[in-house]
Structure 1
């Protein structure tokens, strides 16, 4: 046997230790003896400790906020401690602007009502004129041909009809003017109420220039929705933005990003073992409790990733009440009792069936079961002690 073949033979035996009894050559082919062994498969990925629940700290909605001062990231605080001080310059400016708008709206409302009053006076005057005209028509009208000719009588009747119609129109105009007045008063009142609420809101913002911790814990600052940077003094943020979180340190879980290509077989209940970067001698066991429904891209990473949540059985004291501690997670996807296995390379696909080539060169159909990255379970067709070719 050549030196090269002896080296290959040695490497093959080492690689297949525990999988086969040994390997040998027969007529130039690499032969392996089938044995029973546990079938194992696992994948690894990085993760960190996070809180299962956290209290979100957000800014008052309705205005932009300038942060004058904010605690450092991951600062431990007590309930009631000031964690953020806000500048009130923007809120004061908006409040003053709203007060000016309110005074202007009141002045416009008074002016508009004066116009309606003026129109009422004009209509009342015109109605009195109509009444006087009708009285004159009644006083001087006559159906006698001795007083007026037939054409003059017709003209007098037309004048009366016109005057009565004009009086009816003025009566309708007076009612309409009243309706328009009431509608305008309602609109003015609504507008003034809205502006008054703005004034009250900005007064509240001016008075609430400090944000305090709702409970004991650690303040974890968030990234700005406007700049993408960690929020700091001088940041200008939208009202309603979440600027910090206070995780519940009594409910810690593991959060792992798992590459979609490696996620096959990982499901809820999968056993996970974790080793922490800061404490390499500490191993913690847990189980998968949830997996994100969709794999998503990550900044600065290739491929798609699932977010996997791990619930640990028990954390050691050195890890309790600590978040963002990095660890390496190993997912035990497959762990079986000893079963008949062969290297995947020994399998050959024939139509819809699988077959292997025995040491004597004959073919035999087999049925396969579970598999790992390198080996496959044989459920029928082979027994321990059989010898198959590794290379076809």
Structure 2
């Protein structure tokens, strides 16, 4: 029995030693900790003049456009639009306008003819009424009672007939006015369409307002204006930027953007010049995350960065890759996130104590996607397990 207990104790000791040897450990020592995130974006000019498609009735097709980054002089052609659709619209409006004007003329003729007929009928009734008044005899000694009654009935009939023609005139006048108003409205619409087509034909070209380099804008699909492409009224096609002051527009994935703030240090390089590093500083952080591409489910935080100095290599629209330093601490204990566990809203690590491990509650400070600064709970020289030894 005694030997059995000794054997069991030896086996347990060997098992503990084997478990301890197989557990990956980390000895904590003060070190420099940095939290950096990667971002991509492009340069843009702070001050620029927009080049927009003219306000027109519908979209336009580009017939000619200068290449991006072309050096333009004041008055140089930037974009020329295809005139064929506008020419068709102008012809269609002319034909429709001529048709409406012909209908107006025809209606006026018919209206005058109808009103003339009604006026003639009214004149005849008035004349008959006058004769009836002039030759009416009410003396029973001269005419019989039946003749007198018949005469009175004739006058009443003529009065009703006169009222009918007056009503007919008013009714026809109201109807004719409604038809005329409708035709005039159609005429006004066609005149508006014709004027819009005329204005469009007069604005087929966009020219540079001053000297500068042309930068084209990309749409939501990342495509830039090109020959044969379609632009909508007022759409921004590009710009003539002021190259003396340029900033960076960077995009950081939302779940990596925690801790972003103005004043943080940025290092970046141009995609076209990967060997040269530039420095900058965050000056603005967007408060709302947005999608960048239609099929990309990720959302990004937009960050604006001011370079320390401008460079002749900077061109608006140039792609950049950047690293943003969110925070850094000197001589602190840093633990991989995989070694920190949670239970009942408390964080803890497995600290080695002799041949065993014990739970040690910790408090963390700054953290990155992989590591965290431990500000309370462990000391330099402590050894912790990098896996959950309690499971």
Fold match (TM-score > 0.5): yes
The one of 98, 104, 126 aligned to 1:103: 98
Q: Does 1:375 align with 2:368?
A: no
Q: For 1:344 and 1:228, how far apart are their aligned partners in 2?
A: 37
Superposed, 1:67-86 pairs within 5 Å as 67-86=62-81
Q: Secondary structure of 2:380's match?
A: coil
Within 1, Cα distance between the matches of 2:204 and 2:25?
Answer: 79
1:58 and 2:58 correspond: no
What is the rounded CA distance, in whole Å, between the counterparts of 1:163 and 1:315 in structure 2?
Answer: 101
Mapped to 2, the partners of 1:154 and 1:144 lie a distance apart of: 11
Kept in 1, the 8 Å contact 2:40–2:321? The answer is: yes
The offset of 1:186, in angstroms, is 4.6
Q: Which residue of the partner structure matches residue 268 of structure 2?
A: 274
1:107-118 → structure 2 map (5 Å cutoff) = 107-118=102-113
Question: CA offsets per residue over residues 264-309 of structure 1, 9 Å max, x none?
Answer: 333455432212231523222220513272331526x754131523
1:384 to 380, 386, 390: 380
Contact 1:268 1:291 in 2 (8 A): no
Tell me: CA distance 1:109–1:42, structure 2 relative to 1, closer, same or farther (3 Å).
same
Listed one character per residue, the Cα deviations across residues 338-376 of structure 1 (whole Å, up to 9, x for unaligned) are 434433343333323233333223433333333223333
**1:35-50 alignment, distance < 5 Å:** 35-50=29-44
For 2:326, the equivalent position in structure 1 comes to 333
In 1: Cα distance, 2:364 partner to 2:218 partner: 51
C-alpha spacing 1:90/1:369, structure 2 compared with 1 (3 Å): closer
How many matched pairs? 364
Q: How far 1:330 moved relative to its partner?
A: 0.9
Is this contact kept in 2: 1:62–1:240, CA < 8 A? no
TM-score by length of 2: 0.77
Query: 1:346 matched to which residue of 2?
Result: 339
What residue number does 1:12 align with? none
Q: Structure 1 stretch 90-99 or stretch 117-126: which is displaced more? A: 90-99
Give 4+ residue runs of structure 1 displaced > 6 Å after superposition. Answer: none
Distance in structure 1 (CA, Å) of the matches to 2:366 and 2:219: 48
CA contact 1:86–1:210 (8 Å) conserved in 2: yes
Give me the whole-angstrom Cα distance separating, in 1, the residues matched to 2:386 and 2:222. 55
Residue 217 in 1 paired to residue 238 in 2? no
In structure 1, the gaps of 5 or more residues are 1-24
Q: CA deviation at 1:128?
A: 1.7
Task: Provide the C-alpha distance between the structure 1 equivalents of 2:192 and 2:296, rounded to a whole number of angstroms.
Answer: 50
Seen in structure 2, the aligned counterparts of structure 1 residues 71 and 141 have a Cα distance that, compared at 3 Å, is: farther
SS in 2 for 1:359: strand
- Pick from 317, 323, 336 the counterpart of residue 316 of structure 2: 323
Judged with a 3 Å threshold, the aligned counterparts in structure 2 of structure 1 residues 276 and 36 are, in CA distance, closer, same or farther, namely same
